[in-house]
Structure 1
């Protein structure tokens, strides 16, 4: 299923250390509702784009968010909203949103960096942000709106990875999915890369310990997925949770694409770009990691998996 990405504006109530937006991006604040309608019409001409990601900034704070959501729903897209969910602490807003969304083909993806408030709030740059996001998630679950909790690996939060997902597993029902990914060190994340960068070797042990815990606890199957993450992060037993490599986006719309309105066939900046990956036995399926990570750590980042038949 092809995917279109629509950043409706770049304003946000968080100042995340790991935000990939650049200073140039932030100079372009928003798209109006009419601009969005015109650009979505261009997407609709592409028959291979049934899925759209609404993002930002924080998309739910756009003054026309519910109007935009209703329009996109009416155009027949499957919709994913990338949001910090803090606006969802308002139960009336959540119920208004529920009246708009379709019964199927809709979900909200929200990042939780750590169950330790000091760590999560340091990464978002806003005191009290963890409690606000958790309150929003509670309302979304209460109203039976599909939610996925996302975690982006980084040095600040990875020591609490296991306890974070122990808490989330106990707190949220199996209908709430868990998603994990490596970090794109672009924009603000690039400026904080020394503080955030974590090696695959460092991540491996807590990730496998966390997955072992989740597997023991899951009475009902919870959707667990790894995106933008290389196979060599874990033992092959856990590859059942990994998504394969992506070719990128069919279309991309954002406030900083004014001159061209829509970018088509945008190639992914995440993949097995590391030179030794060329000899890896699973290269064609592996999602690899972000090009920005290779630039920061040009050697020893990944460990190619050998084809034993050729040894």
Structure 2
């Protein structure tokens, strides 16, 4: 029974099937909202499903200069990492897998899809992919520091209340804290950290204005330029699932609490809150800003989100 339970978690909920459906829906909502903000009709919300299944039916072409196995396995590795992350993120009181170091595991696992994109692009042998790879590395360097500081800030805040001052790395403890003391977003000392994470989500997802690695109009989607068919479909799916995971992580860190106690209602509430975060964090920026230059991205994240995250960390450390 235990094995069957974990298979269900991995393949159905909250793993592959659930993350795929919700991720594609959120991607559709994002596209629809951006279109409305720009006074366009936009595609239907289920358009990402059409795109995904259409790509699955296309021929997979592997460049002659590519390292075939690496080229084909890279998107799968990224997908496996994202599905694993989904198992660790609580939905109010429900969590598939809970450990004392959830946050550390998530930090490492969330890096794997970006590394998989880099490896896949490198394996293609395309010069456009080479440019995209270098840009993806810059993006990783840009957002990892403020992201880690935000997570440390949350861990310190919870640890001071529940763990004798020691930083906690357990998402379950973070949810329990919010169930007792209210959502983190209501703590004024954590508002800068929340803003920082809202700014980090778009670059983690690879959305405008921080989509420097793919940049369709500049380098023809960079690392993805040689991809087609099923591998490209999986990379696009990774993008959608990552959108769900990052927004759901924000909900868990800042908007969680007791919930309703009814699993289906709590799941629906988590998805709705994730959709709101998509609109606030991703869609709004995408609609009103243009793509930043590579050097601007690094400067921006090491200045504003890092400063906001550090401000929250200092305030929390001082007991506020």
Considering the TM-score relative to the shorter chain, is it more than 0.5?
no
Q: Which structure: greater helix fraction?
A: 2
Larger RCO: Structure 1 or Structure 2 (Cα < 8 Å, ≥ 6 residues apart)? 2
